[in-house]
Structure 1
Amino acid sequence: MDRAMEATDMALGGWQVALLMHAFLTLAALWPARRLLQRAGLPVALMGWLVLPLFGWAVFASVLAFKPWPKLPPRPEKLHPRERLKRQRAQERSARNGEG
């Protein structure tokens, strides 16, 4: 009987296992969350919401979804070298025709 009580005392309870799993999942999600926030141009401090045990993930996702993201300038168009040369020649031709 004493042995069974010792084993029960040493075992983790349900809430302790859940908290341990939450801690593990939070640590695993910190790096991707940081990359996501940096690429979106949002403050990295928003990662702190992930630490909250019950509602942290939902709050983080909600803040990420509903917070206005900064407006970044459009990326330059990637062109095939032939297309770039074609456009450059067309601009040169139009500049020459405009001058003459």
Structure 2
Amino acid sequence: MHGTDISVPKGLFVTRTEAAEIHLRCHVKTIDRYVAAGRLPKYKFGRKTLFLLADVLALIKCVGVLPPTSGRGRACAPFLSLDMVTFIALSVATLWITFFLFH
């Protein structure tokens, strides 16, 4: 054409709404924040702004979440670990013993 090399990335493209609601399950404004922070590149096609699906999926991180204990969702997951419960019980027992010894 005019000696310019226009390279279009290859892959599936998604809209801002699709990226937010379907793939990342976040608010559309969160997508705007990712773009502003430089974490998500955008591609303009005329007036349309699209995102590569691979770039959107690269934002998903694997975080360590404890599995539910009874299979009934997060509401049934243990609130405190066994170590924390033991620590609290020993602390309360120490406080009671100290209170009774000095009064």
Tell me the TM-score normalized by structure 1.
Answer: 0.29
Larger-gyration structure (1/2):
1
Bigger helix share: 1
Query: Greater relative contact order: 1 or 2 (C-alpha under 8 angstroms, separation 6 or more)?
Result: 2
Bigger strand share: 2
